[in-house]
Structure 1
């Protein structure tokens, strides 16, 4: 199954200048290896509000217009791109053989750098038709990638280095959404020395 759509990179991902002052108020200044002007290290960006203050971004883009490159993303997922340094990171899932993976792309060329399988098996029996098994966005502190997946009736937090090596993994909590069966979507949040993970049950 092909992931929904393509990963598109336009000028807004190449230069996010001007966001650093507000981003410092929201916690990015706690991480010395992140750059508030060029990195988009977690869900909704450095200021955690989905806003980049750069004013010279294109308002139109497509094939041959304001597009640096286009890359097909394997699998299926709804996670947003996490951009740190010269890499773009995404989570993805392959429902046929129930695999969770993390994928890294080169920021300048769009070439896939690596794809790492971090879990296999025990996907939820039911999930909302508009959700996926790879919906949470990766969070990065400038040194490590923090990802969450729902499998084996639990939410798991997995930490990788920039080469895709799993550093550690931890069961966060049991997860049994029997009433709604919408699946799992919350992205991890990094606050100073802590990683915050939401779980309903």
Structure 2
């Protein structure tokens, strides 16, 4: 059974494209049935249009509170009857009501090796800390910002001459590999959230999730 996926975006949608491409491969267990952006005229919407995927703009600026926007977003997502909601560069802090509504079927990708560097500017923070490696994490979303159970991480080296942009480019390569993989696991029933743990093939994952090779 093919699982229905809704993707939320705010920008260019490079991870959206990686997911769309993965869904076209043989026997992939998911299909993107809707794309919603909180910003108009972003390239991610063009990607959805090019793939003939229903898409819409739901601007947060049209609502007088975070709560009212998130309720409208819940309603818009529910219209697609999704099995999974994927945050792919969706630059909004979600309310508890939203997170609870989609609990256990809400994924995010974050550009750091969580639990390190929650929040923004992760690449520069890793460089400023003189870290030797950096990375990206796919995790279930909970009410704690970037604090949900980690499923999979990929690491990249940090070189002495790296800028934040250099590091971001290296991270993007890994993002486009591991996000479609985790979505595959979810749609196949291999990974689930149980309490405060991510469970893969019946085994609870460590706090840092599974390490990608």
TM-score tier, shorter chain, comes to: 0.3 to 0.5
TM-score, normalised on structure 1?
A: 0.37
TM-score, normalised on structure 2?
A: 0.36
